[in-house]
Amino acid sequence: MKAVIQRVSEASVTVEGAVVGAIEKGFLVLLGVMDGDTEADADIMAAKVAKLRVFTDENDKMNLSVTDVDGEVLCVSQFTLCADVKKGNRPSFTPSAPPAEAQRLYEYFMERLKAEGVKNVAHGVFGADMKVRLLNDGPVTILFDSQTWIRR
């Protein structure tokens, strides 16, 4: 499982001209589910996102998590994070999970974020053509890969 986590002042996702998910202060999480990922990947990814300390404390140090600041998360599925670009110039998406399994784990990941204490988890529409708007705060952008923590 791969994720791009961006600290935002606000973010929204629009499908067919309608806003389907929006947050204020928190994280925009772009999530890619790889073939072979399991609930264990989603569990550790959700825990790491919820506990990632990149919000500033009273001393202007990045020391607080999204749950510490009552922040929100906008989660957007993004299979293109799973792209293989080793050969040629056209990415291959064969490393991504099959759509049904990817959607199941995407939804499971969002439930795990809630279980980790994130007060509001908004989301896009799995598999849809989405327009994402964000106001990156910092900017702070962190890349996560569950393979960092899970060895198969």
Of the listed 27, 79, 109, 144, which one is catalytic? Answer: 79
Rg (CA), the chain: 15
Residue 128 CB-density burial (10 A; 0-12 exposed, 13-18 middle, 19+ buried):
middle
- Does 78 participate in catalysis according to the annotation? yes
Of the listed 80, 93, 141, 148, which one is catalytic? Answer: 80
Q: Minimal CA–CA distance to 62: which of 145, 140, 143, 144?
A: 140
Phi, psi torsion values for 92, nearest 5 degrees: -105, 135
Of the listed 27, 78, 109, 144, which one is catalytic? Answer: 78
Distance CA 28, CA 132 (A): 9
Catalytic residues: 78-80
